[in-house]
């Protein structure tokens, strides 16, 4: 088929989507399923703000795709509807700390919050004291209860430490006209354990946990979204269940489930199909996983890339499922360092790099005991053969091998 024919066919064929944006991550659904309990908890804690009493700070946590961002925003919007109707002095500011240039420094974050309160602070240049002064003034002038949501607060602390959170939770002693409450949201369930105990106790005056969804809950979420996003009859029997099963395999991640379906419909469209079947879901899963892995690999430091390259080379020389040991990886890695003029990391450090790749889900590394010879790691590849080849060639280019 010529490109002209393909494009002609494409515009003549009806889209399988009714409204594709409904499956994109920025879409705000009008109903939040299976989160009644969390919504109730949030509402109970935040309700005093409608009587101009400062609500407790809240720490919200759970794995990615468990509906934290959605549920918190949904509840705050409901709260604001009433506040606006009744003329209650209440406001909320939502900040996603993962976004670049917003929360990479204390200065930037305070400037960003101030901007939401209508006070602009130049992007650089002012002394920190001055920035805080403008910020306090902005808050006081509101004469309101102000709820500041710091989403992905774990990323913030990773970048700039926890002192800022400490300052924010202490801010009310400096304020006369307004009161501030903080809602911190974290995808990292262990995050709070690493905080300074004082910071932890003031941030988590209340805690709300978001458990992972089970496969049936994910199915409900998918069905609802698909009924708005995709034309009737496009989704074949069993497709939603399979998607949900994939998404629930590691932990119930609604974001991943929605992405799986969206990419599957795109694949079906590209093939000129009028339906998506289980096959497109498999292909979608493969494509998403491939993109994810390639994304991670290309952004790793060179030393890390070389460790992974060594693992993949060794895997290629072994029979399937035959494990690779840290010692072998290190020997090959050191060889390759010599060839590429890189200074080798210590074996201990390489061992850490290996466990990081394990955490990222690129390989499987299991610590095994070798009796009195100590411990080693047994590494297995989890990506498939064709992806391995692709990764190897990406790494060869990146490392000029």
Ligand X SMILES: Nc1ncnc2c1ncn2[C@@H]1O[C@H](COP(=O)(O)OP(=O)(O)O)[C@@H](O)[C@H]1O
Site residues (CB under 6 A) for ligand X? Answer: 25, 29, 32-35, 62, 64-70, 187, 221, 254-255, 258
Helix (H) or strand (E) holding 148: strand 145-151
Q: What is each CA distance from 399 to 300, 311, 342, in whole angstroms?
A: 11, 15, 10
Contact 64, 186 (CB under 8 A): no
Q: Which partner from the list ligand X, Mg ion, none does 138 bind, CB cut-off 5 to 8 Å by kind?
A: none
CA 385 to chain CA mean position, Å:
28
Q: From Mg ion, ligand X, none, which one binds at residue 67 (CB under 5 to 8 Å depending on kind)?
A: ligand X
d(CA 356, CA 347): 14
Assess 69 for contact with Mg ion (CB under 5 A): yes
**Between 153 and 268, CB nearer to Mg ion:** 153
Cβ at position 100, least distance to ligand X in Å: 18
Would you say 94 or 325 has its CB closer to ligand X? 94
**Contact region with Mg ion (CB under 5 A), list: 65-73, 134-142, 166-174, 322-330:** 65-73
Burial 11-20 (b: 16+ CB within 10 A, else e): eeeeebbeee
The answer to whether 95 touches 109, Cβ cutoff 8 Å, is: yes
> Which partner in Mg ion, ligand X, none is near 377 (CB below 5 to 8 A by kind)?
none
Number of residues that make up the chain = 401
Rounded distance, CA 395 to CA 401, Å?
A: 8
The residues pairing with 369 across neighbouring beta strands, listed in sequence order, are 375
Given Mg ion, ligand X, none, residue 401, with its beta carbon under 5 to 8 Å by kind, binds none
State the number of binding residues for Mg ion (CB under 5 A).
Answer: 1
User: Applying CB under 5 A, which part among 16-24, 67-75, 122-130, 350-358 lies near Mg ion?
Assistant: 67-75
Shortest distance, CB of residue 39 to ligand X, whole angstroms? 10
- The beta strands (E) that lie in 284-392 are given as 324-325, 363-369, 375-381
CB nearer ligand X, residue 38 or residue 388 = 38
- Closest contact distance (angstroms) between CB of 64 and Mg ion is 7
Give 41 or 310: the residue with its C-beta nearer to Mg ion.
41
Q: Give whichever of 217 and 305 is closer to ligand X, judged by the CB atom.
A: 217
For the bound state, the minimum distance from the C-beta of residue 64 to ligand X, rounded and expressed in Å, comes to 4
Q: How far is the CB of 254 from ligand X (least distance, A)?
A: 3
CA 209 to centroid of chain Cα atoms: 17
Do residues 96 and 173 touch, judged by C-beta distance below 8 A? no
Q: Tell me which of Mg ion, ligand X, none is bound by residue 252, counting a contact when its beta carbon lies within the kind-specific cut-off of 5 to 8 angstroms.
A: none
Q: Is 277 helix (H, G, I), strand (E, B) or coil?
A: coil
Question: Is there a contact between 207 and 59 (Cβ–Cβ < 8 Å)?
Answer: yes
Return the number of the residue (158 or 287) whose C-beta is nearest Mg ion.
158
Q: Which chain residues interact with Mg ion by CB under 5 A?
A: 69
């Amino acid at each position: 088929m010529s490109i002209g024919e393909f494009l002609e066919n494409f515009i003549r064929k009806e889209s399988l989507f009714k409204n594709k944006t409904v499956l994109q991550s920025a879409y705000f659904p009008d109903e939040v399923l299976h989160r009644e309990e969390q919504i109730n908890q949030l509402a109970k804690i935040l309700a005093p703000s409608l009587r101009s009493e400062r609500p407790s700070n809240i720490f919200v946590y759970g794995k990615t795709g468990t509906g934290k961002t959605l549920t918190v925003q949904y509840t705050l919007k409901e709260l604001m509807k009433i506040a606006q109707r009744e003329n209650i002095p209440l406001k909320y500011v939502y900040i996603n700390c993962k976004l670049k240039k917003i929360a990479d420094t204390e200065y930037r974050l305070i400037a960003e919050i101030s901007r939401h309160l209508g006070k602009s602070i130049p992007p650089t240049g002012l002394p920190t004291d001055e920035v805080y002064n403008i910020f306090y003034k902005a808050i006081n002038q509101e004469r309101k209860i102000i709820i500041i949501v710091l989403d992905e607060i774990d990323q913030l602390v990773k970048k700039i430490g926890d002192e800022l959170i400490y300052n924010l939770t202490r801010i009310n002693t400096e304020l006369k006209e307004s009161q501030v409450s903080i809602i911190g949201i974290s995808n990292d369930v262990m995050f709070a354990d690493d905080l300074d105990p004082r910071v932890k106790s003031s941030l988590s005056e209340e805690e709300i946990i978001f458990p992972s969804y089970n496969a049936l809950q994910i199915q409900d979420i998918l069905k609802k979204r698909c009924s708005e996003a995709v034309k009737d009859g496009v989704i074949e029997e069993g497709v939603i269940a399979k998607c949900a099963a994939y998404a629930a395999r590691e932990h119930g991640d609604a974001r991943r489930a929605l992405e799986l379906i969206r990419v599957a419909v795109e694949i079906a469209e590209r093939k000129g199909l009028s339906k998506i079947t289980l096959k497109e879901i498999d292909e979608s899963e493969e494509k998403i996983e491939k993109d994810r892995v390639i994304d991670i690999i290309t952004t790793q430091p060179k030393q890390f890339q070389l460790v992974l390259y060594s693992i993949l080379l060794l895997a290629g020389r072994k029979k399937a499922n035959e494990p690779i040991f840290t010692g072998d990886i290190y020997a090959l890695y050191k060889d390759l360092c010599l060839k590429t003029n890189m200074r080798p990391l210590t074996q201990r450090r390489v061992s850490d790099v290996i466990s990081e790749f394990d955490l990222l889900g690129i390989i499987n590394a299991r610590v095994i005991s070798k009796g009195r010879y100590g411990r080693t790691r047994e590494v297995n590849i989890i990506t498939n053969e064709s992806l391995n080849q692709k990764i190897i060639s990406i790494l060869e280019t990146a490392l000029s091998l």
